[in-house]
Amino acid sequence: MPRHLKPVTCAIALSLLMAGVADFARPAAAQTQPSSQPSWIVSDLLAGAKAEGELIVYGSMNEEEALPFWQLFQDASGIKVSYVRSSDANILARIAIEYRARQRSWDLVATTPVYRLPDDVLLQFDPPEAQNLIPQARAPNRRWYGVYGNYNSPAYNTNFVKQADLPKSYEEFLDHKEWAGKIAIDATDSEWLSGIFANYGEERGRKLVQDIVATLKPVVVDGHLVVARSVGAGEYWVALNNYVGLTINVLLSGAPTNFWALDPVGLAFGSVGVSSQAPHPKAAQLAANFMLSREAEQFLTKRGRLPTRTDVETNPPGVIDALQQKKVIVTISSAEQQKKMQSTFNELFKTR
């Protein structure tokens, strides 16, 4: 299993603007905003959120992105936000412990595996901005919504690997014995493995991954951003898989790295959910609506995140269009299925 990372907690001194329990199901006319306000501000939430006075966010987004992102929310709303940053696994573990203890310690969760949380942990709600998302990014049970797409694909360091030498399939990785020990993968890439099994079938997919591990000896690394930065720095030449948005993030910083798409392209989402026991429920629902807004998703594309809205272009343009030329498989599964797949990943990559 992945080695645990210590959570990094940072309070963002912002000021609150909204609070309480929102009725997002109200008619659109009741949510009409003055033109001077951002479209994501819902009038019915505003007064209650001001009364609540603050917002507590558990998130996995690194502070370089998260602090200025939540500054946008502060500037428009005045809400004080406490942002607690940790890894996906640690966030889920912390939420589980606090839920069992009936602790009302957080309002909003923003990370990839939000969909794995039990239904009773998350509030059922209908943010108006969700109507602009691609259908796959809207949970059928209305308990989570995708803020950005985590498309899974390999990446490489352009100083060490030529574009002409890139494999055209995962089978062709086996032709690159020179990459042995110079290839990395994140320790929690069970969603990528789910996509491999869905594409190849479990028996063939398992054999393929076993052969890749035996031939290339991939290094298992904690953290998708760590993988992206390590490949960009040349510590590893290739990422067997990573989130495309994070590869682009490092590329935009000037590092010699890029991704290339292979079948299958697994897709999960960096998602947002609201605690069913939120101490500041109106502020949380307003913040969730903000995260799904055009303004927020455009901001995230500045660092390479891939939008889930149909009216926001990628940075650089055309990334999602290119990925969709391949076989895109949505790799969202139940907590039990994911646990089983993570166990299989650990077995195949010899992490235990």
- What pLDDT was estimated at residue 43? 85
51: amino acid identity, one letter: A
Instruction: State which residues of the chain have pLDDT below 50.
Output: 1-34
Backbone angles phi, psi at 13, to 5 degrees: -75, 90
- What pLDDT was estimated at residue 174? 98
- What pLDDT was estimated at residue 35? 52
- Whole-number Å distance between alpha carbons of 246 and 259: 10
Torsion over CA of 211, 215, 221 and 224, rounded to 10 degrees?
-60
- What pLDDT was estimated at residue 29? 38
- What pLDDT was estimated at residue 27? 36
- What pLDDT was estimated at residue 48? 87
* H or E element, residue 111: strand 108-111
* H or E element, residue 10: strand 8-12
- What pLDDT was estimated at residue 351? 81
Nearest to residue 238, comparing CAs of 319, 325, 167?
167
Burial label for 311, CB within 10 Å (0-12, 13-18, 19+), is exposed
